Amino acid sequence: MSIFLVDEYKEMEPYVPGEQPKDKLYIKLNANETSLPPSPKVFEAISKSEIWNMSYYADPHCHEFRKAVASVYGVTEEEVFVGNGADEVLSFVLMSFFRRGMKIYFPDITYGFYRTYAKTYGLDMEEIPVKDDFSIDINDYMDLEGDIIFANPNNPTGRAIPIDDIEKLVKKNPERMVIVDEAYADYWGETCLPLATKYPNLVVVRTFSKSRNMAGTHIGFAIASKEIIADMNSIKFSFNPFNLNSVTMAAGIAAVKDTYYLDKCINRIVTNREQFKSDLENLGFHVIPSKANFVFCYHDTISSSELCEKLKEEGILTRHFADAKLDKYLRITIGTEQEMAVVLIAIKEILAEVKV
């Protein structure tokens, strides 16, 4: 730490992403990406003319991209904010509407970036315990005065909060902001997006990194009231007007419009998830019911940390969390049919060795 770092950042705890080793070729199932390619329309969009245009600045207002998102989700351009991944979009939400010392609530088991941002922005965070089955009881949040953020479905558990419960929470206190991170909502098939323009205290954040198979482009967006989006754009133009480049936006426009391909990919991953869940249970695993593109599981005869290491030795990356409440579990992202077949074979061999 240098002598120049300002005091307010000295207590921050940087987020630790899933490992990305380069020593050999891995089946990468540790970061909830997908192994499927982007829409074929994306390949057509990244044309020579788009590359020639790289000599000019991209549209800082992202008009065409915001219009494309708006048309797909039935809102207006003025109700859409786009950014360099859902994490940056969330950061703009916090920069726009939170000041140091403000209260924010989120579950004690959820996406780790919420803690990172809360500490970075000096927020007074409080983590609400989830239930023993990892579900979230909306009644635990109803009478809280501070603002609230949920990942829905939740990460790393895959549990989801019913949309009706979210609406009850939003309606209960119009002066309390509720942020819903829907990174995995496409795999669930339910969403708060229709509520986002109905209630002025709700912000819904989405990403292209999961169901649209575009983690490498790092695209995110938010849908909310025109007033909230206008505020966020004001902050963006005071911070980084050009937060998305022209090639990324061209890819994003093509991807968001190709709803046929999106549905095809979602159905494929959900089918693989349910089959893999069944296969794990047949091997004696305990599996949390998931609404996302991963499963959260454990086996009685081997610790998840050991299983994670043994799978890595076999060229398969999964995610184990050192947190005491999560240590028992292993999170495995759902890949292609072929990848999950390889994973299942490896797990069977590992379990056979343990039982010998």
Q: How far apart are CA 322 and CA 24, in angstroms?
A: 25
Domain 40-257, classified CATH 3.90.1640.10, yes or no: no
Dump pLDDT digits (tens) for 287-342: 999 999 999 999 999 999 999 999 999 999 999 998 889 999 999 999 999 999 99
CATH architecture group of domain 18-37+260-355: Alpha-Beta Complex (3.90)
The residue ranges of DSSP E strands in 230-293, in sequence order, are 285-288
Query: According to the model, what pLDDT value does residue 2 have?
Result: 84
pLDDT of residue 356: 52
Distances (CA, A) of 280 to 6, 251, 272, 299, 333: 49, 36, 12, 9, 13
Pairing of the two strands 147-151 and 178-181: parallel
**Residue 194, pLDDT score:** 96
Rounded-to-integer distance, Cα 25 and Cα 27, Å: 7
The CA distance from 49 to 43, in Å, is 13
Q: What is the pTM of this model?
A: 0.94
pLDDT value of position 221: 98
What per-residue confidence (pLDDT) applies to 18? 72
- The residue ranges of every structural domain in the chain are 18-37+260-355, 40-257
Say if 18-37+260-355 and 40-257 have the same CATH topology. Answer: no
Spans of the chain below 70 pLDDT: 48-49, 356
Task: Report the candidate in 158, 198, 208 with the shortest Cα–Cα distance to residue 329.
Answer: 158
